[in-house]
Structure 1
């Protein structure tokens, strides 16, 4: 499947000797040397002694192979040489006891930021595995990603030089500057969305399922723009499955779970920890412990629309609503233009789904709600009800503290419209809206606009 060959500019590396299909297990290897967590300080005398004992216990062939591995660290004696080789080539071992280990075959695989394989520790079989993330052509070098996070090109290059003493010249690192910037922007937006979903946690899934689903939808779109079957896809699909299942939608939950498990099989194999843990979820999504905490999206597991094209199916799956053409009129129930509170972006940071880097909106949206009650103490405070019937607080942090609104229009039952509204997490109240720009607020009589709750499909 592969052979060790000279690779221009990289020394030795593994090169495919035939076409390797996506998901194929290229390597399944035991460590010849392991470093426990309690001995992972390079200057430790105990570590030096421990490493020397392990190297001396190798067979002659293993020892020669170990000593031929690259070493970026200077050394004055055998112990320092061994530790330098380990620090240069070790992969993590996630068994709770071991910091890392040296694998004679896997340690030969060079880095690329557009890597074509995924390295991972398989605790079920106690082996380090390498799987093809995409089809690998005969004669193509097999590569992995050395770093922990996919950051910007500059950040990656700095980390590689600091830790491994080389610069990467892979396909995406050698793109023209404008293409590098586009790729960096994609990675930055993925990271931003990932952190937003993490910050929201279960509370976000429960209180704003559609908003959370839109974050995840955007993440998948961004991953697809990179053209890679990234291992991060599985985590995003699992999050989407949880959102659907928590709210009773077993059909979407099953499909998202299938996509997550497929991605895990590709990157880690059918015996990997995640496949073992979640492999049965597509067959029985209701087994998720959080199933049915809300049943607002209740849908049977086989209740999936037929005869949809691929684009229409994805739109249904992600509960998308088409954004209107410029100048086109839309109905008030178009959730892309008139979202419920759950579909509003949060005001913590810039939501790259809806804003450009300049801070200008990518699209227009307007939040509509009915005034349930109001009071004017230190500032104008309203209780409003959105199109889903959810009651939320609205506080005016304008210069006039809300006095800019026409008093005659402050009436229960009137409709308030807020352009580019955002969710705000109040310390003293439920999540709501903190409004700072009075020019983006209009209040209309009930005969002009009437809102009634509508159930989402």
Structure 2
């Protein structure tokens, strides 16, 4: 392959979301991003949403990988495919960076613990396992929020907390966590995203269940049928 062709191909691989976007492909990576991106099938567009207040002059940054609950070493290994080593404040070898990394190690541990509960015990596991899974999901959400990790991984933690609350028959708590998930997805993907519309229907059903005098039956809400959490959209990214 001619050198020019190899160079063009390398630029494509390093800067695409499946396609190359004039502005989106110029956004850099951070392990503590202030922007979330997602493909909106209803609009037929890749969309970018601020997930926290951004100061004037502050660089916009997205997360190229699903790295919220990964350790520094895991994140760096994953980022090798883009040909750089991350030096964001979370990854820097400073006192602050090391303290942040301790929280990421704890998030990874909780993520693995929750995955075990979800994989083996969601449908028919003992009630004690559901209680432990709920506690792990709540702990994850608390850590993610305190660390300013306000992307879809926080939404997934809320989703898990809602599902296990429902599994334990607590419709009120399931509604509380589902409302938190809906709020995160509102600013992560936007109210015009199909996933947000589906979640809105779920919250409505949960609210009706809480307000009714009938016993709560989670099987009546399809959202709880699957043990799969909502997918995270950060599967492709851009590098400059």
Class of the TM-score when normalised by the shorter of the 2 chains:
0.7 to 0.9
CA 1:205/1:245 → structure 2, altered by over 3 Å: closer, same or farther?
farther
1:135 deviation in Å? 0.4
CA 1:241/1:163 → structure 2, altered by over 3 Å: closer, same or farther?
same
Verify the 8 A CA contact 2:145 2:154 in the aligned structure 1.
no
Which residue of structure 1 lines up, in the alignment, with residue 53 of structure 2? 135
Which residue of structure 2 lines up, in the alignment, with residue 193 of structure 1? 113
CA 1:212/1:190 → structure 2, altered by over 3 Å: closer, same or farther?
closer
Normalised by the size of structure 2, how large is the TM-score?
A: 0.76
1:287 deviation in Å? 7.9
Which residue of structure 2 lines up, in the alignment, with residue 292 of structure 1? 217
Question: What's the C-alpha RMSD, in Å, of the aligned pairs?
Answer: 2.6
Residue 99 of structure 2: which of 171, 179, 191 is its match?
179
- 2:187 equivalent to 1:266: yes
In 2, Cα distance between the equivalents of 1:293 and 1:268? 26
- 2:9 equivalent to 1:83: yes
In 2, Cα distance between the equivalents of 1:113 and 1:90? 19
Which residue of structure 2 lines up, in the alignment, with residue 433 of structure 1? none
- Please list the CA deviations of residues 426-448 of structure 1 after superposition, one character each: whole Å capped at 9, or x if unmatched: xxxxxxxxxxxxxxxxxxxxxxx
Which residue of structure 1 lines up, in the alignment, with residue 232 of structure 2? none
1:80 deviation in Å? 3.3
Structure 1 unpaired stretches of 5+: 1-42, 44-74, 92-99, 295-457
In 2, Cα distance between the equivalents of 1:125 and 1:269? 11
In 1, Cα distance between the equivalents of 2:190 and 2:126? 29
- Please list the CA deviations of residues 86-124 of structure 1 after superposition, one character each: whole Å capped at 9, or x if unmatched: 101111xxxxxxxx1111110010111111111111112
CA 1:118/1:181 → structure 2, altered by over 3 Å: closer, same or farther?
closer
- 2:156 equivalent to 1:230: no
Which residue of structure 2 lines up, in the alignment, with residue 156 of structure 1? 75
Normalised by the size of structure 1, how large is the TM-score?
A: 0.42
- 2:138 equivalent to 1:212: no
SS class of match (1:204)? coil
1:190 deviation in Å? 3.4
Residue 111 of structure 1: which of 23, 29, 41 is its match?
29
Structure 2 unpaired stretches of 5+: 210-215, 220-240
Higher helix share goes to which structure? 2
Higher strand share goes to which structure? 1
1:141 deviation in Å? 0.2
1:148 deviation in Å? 3.0
- Please list the CA deviations of residues 374-412 of structure 1 after superposition, one character each: whole Å capped at 9, or x if unmatched: xxxxxxxxxxxxxxxxxxxxxxxxxxxxxxxxxxxxxxx
Counterparts of 1:355-394 in structure 2, within 5 Å, are none
| Number of residue pairs aligned between Structure 1 and Structure 2 | 209
Which residue of structure 2 lines up, in the alignment, with residue 122 of structure 1? 40
User: Considering only CA atoms, is the larger Rg found in Structure 1 or Structure 2?
Assistant: 1
